Every structure is written in structure tokens, then in C-alpha cells.
Chains A and B, each alone.
Chain A
């Protein structure tokens, strides 16, 4: 049970929190929509992989599984991608640039100051632009927020990967804050 009395306790993860406090829900949803589905040099599938990876490193089951399912929906890969993200993507074909950006995201997850000039230079050498580096850092930072919000208030989350398939499709193809 959540640490506070939500208006609808059946809503999982961040969904129950957004419903509880519409004032803060509005910018939180616009941010997710802009970061993950707005114009960017990175595809939405790549951005959802970054979001899902950071959420896994933060051990936030709800955010990890739902955003990995959204990545799977974008990439039409099947939900095996959810566990592959946990393992560091050994089975999924992703660019070396994305792997370098995921390394930067992992540094941000620990603390912003962990990102070194070498990390950035390595990503640049593989073709990453300023915009892509910016978006990677901000997505990683934002999921350090969403994850703490969801876990810090003790929300509940469905267990099995299969329970997230439909949610992932909606996140990928309808969007955030849209019904």
C-alpha cells in the first residue's frame, strides 16, 4: 500500500500519483512526452531504452518494466526486450553510439558529477551530437526523479512482464498525458 491515501488505489506506480496531484502531474507528463516522444535526434525506441535502463539501475520495477515495454512497442521487438535491458542488451542490436550514451546515462544515475570529459568524447567519437548528449543526460536525470517519486511513496506495481504489454503500447503510440 502506498505511504499516502491515494484517490484511486487501483492505479499502479506513477499513475496513482498523477491522479492524486493534478497540479504537479501536468508538467511531469509534458516533460515525459517531450523527452520520450518529442522531436529529437534519438528515436523514441532509443530514448525509452535509456529511460528503462536508468529505472532498472534505480531498481524501480514499475518504471523499468513499463518503459521497457514502451521501447519494445516502438521497436516491435517483443517483450523479451524487457529482460534484455536488465542484462545490458546482449541480445538486442543497438548502435555503438547508443551504448556510449547508455554509459553516460549510467554515470548520471550515480551522480551528475560522475560524467567525465572522456565519457563525452567517447560518445562524440561514435557520432553523438550535443543534442543527443543533452537529451541523454536529461532523460537519465529525469528518471532519477520519476523512480524516486514512484518508490518514495511506496506505490504498488504489477509483477510479470506480460502485465505491461498494453501499457507499453499506449505509452509508445498514444503518448503521455493523452487518452
Chain B
């Protein structure tokens, strides 16, 4: 059960957005800007993979599942690719540049000061630009916020893969600013879930 009284029809961060619209607006504008809006070089799929990977490292079920689903829908519905990145970016079929950026993201997740000049030089040698390095650090940092927000208030985080797929398809298509759909929880409650 959530630590505070949240609307029951919305999972994860969406219940928090309903609870406190004043903070929802900038939080949602930030994720829209980082992950969905056009980017000079990183695709939305690549940016979503960074968000998903950091959420996995923080063990945030809701964020990892929803951003994994959004990434999948940006990446030709390739669930296997998302699975491979989460299992081990080094052996996943992604660019060497994205592998280097994911290394920086993992450093940020464990602490900002962990990022070394060597990590940055390595990413640059694989072709990463300053904006890509900047955005990778900010996405990783931001998901250290979103993950803590969602887990720190013990929000409802469903296990239903089909639900994440449906929400992920919507977000990949529409971005983050459209209304979320309500989840009917009667069935879940009656089955004791």
C-alpha cells in the first residue's frame, strides 16, 4: 500500500502526478524534453534505453517496465533488444557509442563523482558529442529522482506485462503530456492480487 493516500486507478508516477499537479507539470515537461522531443543525434529509443537501464540499476519495477516498453515501441517493437541491453549492454547489439554512454549512466547512478575523465574520453573516442554526454548524465540523474520518487512513496506497481505494453505504446506515440488512462483494479482486488 502506498505511504500516502494516492488515487488508486493510476500506477507508479501517474498516481503521484494526480496527487500533486503543481510538481507534476515540471516533472512531466522534463521527461518529455529529455526523452521524447526531437534530439540532434540520439534517437528516442536510445534515450529510453538509458532511462530503462538506470531504472533497472535502481531496481524500480514500474519505471523499468514502462520505459522498457516505451523503448521497445520506439525500436521496431524489438523486446529482445531491450532485454539484451538490460542483461548486459556490452554484449547487446547496440552501437559502441551507446555502450560507452550507458557506462557513464551507470557511474552517475552510483554517484555523480564516479564519472571520470577516462569515461568521458572513452565515450568521445566512440563518437559521443558534448550534448550526448550532457544528456546522458542528465537522463541518468533524473531517473535517480523518478525512481526514488516512485519507490519512496510505495506507489502501486503492477506486474501485468500487457498493461505496460499498452501504456508504452501510448507514450512512444503520443509523448508524455497526454492524459493517462485509468486502470480498472476491481479484478485485481477481487483476485486478491
Contact = CB atoms under 8 A, between A and B. Distances in A.
A35 B23 contact: yes
Given A4-B134, A133-B4, A112 B60 contact: yes
A127 interface: no
Given A31-B26, A152-B140, A130 B150 contact: no
Given A24-B30, A27-B33, A31-B27, A153 B134 contact: yes
B20 A152 contact: no
Interface string B20-58: 101101110110011001000000000000000000001
Interface residues of A, number: 50
Interface string A114-156: 0101001000000000110111011011101111111111100
Interface string B99-130: 00000100111011101010010000000001
Find the residue from B107, B144, B152, B153 having the highest chain A CB count within 10 A: B152
A148 B112 contact: yes
Interface in A84-122: 104, 107-108, 111-113, 115, 117, 120
Contacts of B3: 115, 117, 120, 133, 137
A34 B20 CA distance: 11
A151 B3 CA distance: 31
A60 B112 contact: yes
Contact of B23 (A34, A120, A152): A34
A134 B79 CA distance: 34
B134 A21 contact: yes
Given A4-B133, A141-B148, A152-B137, A147 B16 contact: no
A3 B149 CA distance: 28
A151 B27 contact: no
A77 to B, nearest CB: 27
Among A38, A135, A149: residue with most chain B CB under 10 A: A149
B5 interface: yes
A159 interface: no
B14 to A, nearest CB: 15
Contacts of A28: 26, 30
Interface of A: 3-5, 17, 20-21, 23-24, 26-28, 30-31, 34-35, 38-39, 58-60, 104, 107-108, 111-113, 115, 117, 120, 130-131, 133-135, 137-138, 140-142, 144-154
21 contacts: A5-B130, A21-B131, A23-B33, A24-B30, A24-B138, A35-B23, A58-B112, A111-B58, A112-B147, A112-B148, A112-B150, A112-B153, A117-B3, A133-B3, A134-B4, A134-B16, A137-B149, A140-B148, A141-B149, A141-B152, A153-B115
